[in-house]
Structure 1
Amino acid sequence: MQALLDAIAAMPLPTDARRIFHGRGGRFPGCEQWTLDAYPPVFVLTSFLPAGDETEAQLAAIGAALAQRWEALAPGQPLNWVFQCRNEALRTQGRTETRLMAGSVPDPHVVTEHGAQFKVHVLRGQNHGLFLDMAAGRRWVHDYAAARRADRYGLKVLNLFAYTCAFSVVALQAGAKQVVNVDMSHGAIAIGQQNHQLNGIATGAAFLPHDIFSSWGKINRSGPYGLVIVDPPSYQKGSFVATKDYARLMRRLLDLLAPGGHALLCLNAPELGLAFLQDQMRELAPELRFVERVANPPVFADVDEGRALKVLVYQAPELPGQGG
């Protein structure tokens, strides 16, 4: 646990939402169970192992380290932190154990990332409203949209498995003309609409609270798209299982993309490596050219990058004479 305590002792004052410590990457032996995130003004400590006899002592040591560092960073300000246990037994039941350890959590709780604002909820559920490991993916989308803001017809984006629509917010902030957000969760889409309102975005976003696989007619009518973002859950019973359903999306990409358009394919499944996406793309969408893998934020470094979050960029063929 010493590596976690060392990270706390050295952390700067967090302003944006970010990960502080990533034991899950296996780079700190003995700390594989721990992650520490900042959703200012709240810290969220997560354990991926069942609570044992030693857990309370560990939590006391971590709490003391947080208190000491917080007093140095923000003298006189209250320390707010939450502990969540996500062991395998709880995860398979879709449950977590969450405790407020000190201070309080704002309601509503709004965090920032590169100037954008997002609503989060750290006291319930496994997903807090903003996936911190996708920060580099959001920056890529922002830069992609910014580079095309002067295009003749404007950039049109399809955001599949939109969740709380963070990709949509950053794309529209950067100058995209339109983003179509699709997610079967009405609750997530409602938060996505609030995220647009938080950022003063009143036009350009469409919200479809539908099952993607039964909504291709509506999705196609708004296309073709200069950018298609695919960021599904790796496994969500009854809605999406990557090993069988990702292929169904890949077969659609060429029809969804405008000539020269790009697809951003995301997968956060440690058991499925790069080859899972790349081999299927070569087979099912051979017309699309692999461009790059977007590097994850350095704090998420893994001893095996094949297990880490995969964010791959592909490009559809240009029209003849359109340029390379």
Structure 2
Amino acid sequence: MNLLEHLPSALPEAGCGRLLHGRGYCFPGLEGITLDWFPPSLLFTHFVPLESQQRSALISQLQHWWQGVSDAPFSLVWQDRHTSPAQTDVVGQAPPQSHWVEEGGLAFEVDLARGQNHGLFLDMAEGRAWVRQHAQGRRVLNLFAYTCAFSVFAMAGGAKEVVNLDMSKPALGQGKRNHLRNGFDHGVRYLGHDLFKSFGKLNKLGPYDLVVVDPPSFQKGSFVATKDYARLLRRLPELVAPQGDVLLCLNAPELSRAFLKQQVAEVAPSLQYQQQLANPASFPDVDPDRALKVLHYRQP
């Protein structure tokens, strides 16, 4: 595996981001790996088995590249996602114990050693930027909020109010810290509930001018896209104000854009398709249907 010819000649000037996206099948021989930059640390993730010799060779390449792009100590978090649960260890200097990174000038807490859910999913950067651009004066509902990054961007864009809902109270706690770090201590709600038991409460707090739906594709006991997206979509229009916007997200390589569009057409036909948001340029993919799908709909 030769990483060097595909790595950037310089680190991003500001913020975090993906440095190598092998999973998009654009780099032959590197299909099972990704490399991310969460200053001051790198996160290397592999989804295929690697022999110890391969690991040593890859780390050596990364150290060689690092000497050409930075004077800082080498800090690498190595994550094996081929095993379950994911195995993580550190090469070189450990990440900060209190680790904050920036995206779009906003601060977010991450924990690279925690496993696959480290606090900020980089492929959704364009979706978050879109929300920031369309949030002014609006009431926003953020479903499957996780650590509330969409909400932070909505508040930065001038949202009137944001309601965040997620089953994980620890994730919402991290989301609250994200808001406070950015100076947003008013106008934000955190609901640690099961969505499918909470439509009554959400209706009382609504309607909403902008709704973000960013569920896990397969999380047993929470959401399985093949059966639960339709359940959600049946109830979604009643939450959306007239001329309200909806972002529907789907990050399942095995499910296409057509799957999501068909679900909407069948169970929420009042929602009108507007566009598909582009993914960050750092996430190239030979097949758009395998990549993250973010579809913009509007309620007439």
Bin of the TM-score, shorter chain as denominator length: over 0.9
User: Match of 1:63?
Assistant: 59
Q: CA deviation at 1:230?
A: 0.3
Q: For residues 9 and 166 of structure 1, do their structure 2 counterparts lie closer, same or farther at Cα, with a shift above 3 Å needed?
A: closer
Whether 2:75 is the aligned partner of 1:85: answer no
Q: CA deviation at 1:70?
A: 2.5
Q: CA deviation at 1:9?
A: 5.5
Q: Distance in 1 between matches of 2:7 and 2:273?
A: 39
Q: Find runs of 4+ consecutive structure 1 residues off by over 3 angstroms.
A: none
TM-score, with normalisation over the residues of structure 1? 0.90
Identity of aligned residues (%): 52
Q: CA deviation at 1:218?
A: 1.2
Secondary structure, aligned partner of 1:300: coil
1:15·1:40 contact (CA, 8 Å) conserved in 2? no
User: Match of 2:239?
Assistant: 256
Aligned residues: 300
2:8·2:19 contact (CA, 8 Å) conserved in 1? no
Q: Residue type of the partner of 1:293?
A: Q
Q: Distance in 1 between matches of 2:227 and 2:289?
A: 19
Whether 2:129 is the aligned partner of 1:134: answer no
Q: Which structure 2 residues correspond to residues 59-208 of structure 1 after superposition, within 5 A?
A: 59-75=55-71, 77-87=72-82, 89-90=83-84, 95-145=85-135, 149=136, 154-208=137-191
- 1:250-290 CA deviation, whole Å, 9 max, x = no partner? 11121111000011000100000001110111111111110
Q: Residue type of the partner of 2:19?
A: I
Secondary structure, aligned partner of 1:83: strand
Q: What is the RMSD computed on CA atoms of the aligned residues?
A: 1.2
User: Match of 2:32?
Assistant: 33
2:16·2:103 contact (CA, 8 Å) conserved in 1? yes
Ranges in structure 1 where 5+ consecutive residues have no aligned partner: 318-324
Q: Residue type of the partner of 1:103?
A: Q
Ranges in structure 2 where 5+ consecutive residues have no aligned partner: none
Whether 2:42 is the aligned partner of 1:43: answer yes
Match of 1:287 among 255, 262, 270: 270
2:207·2:240 contact (CA, 8 Å) conserved in 1? yes
Secondary structure, aligned partner of 2:264: helix
TM-score, with normalisation over the residues of structure 2? 0.97
Q: CA deviation at 1:79?
A: 1.0
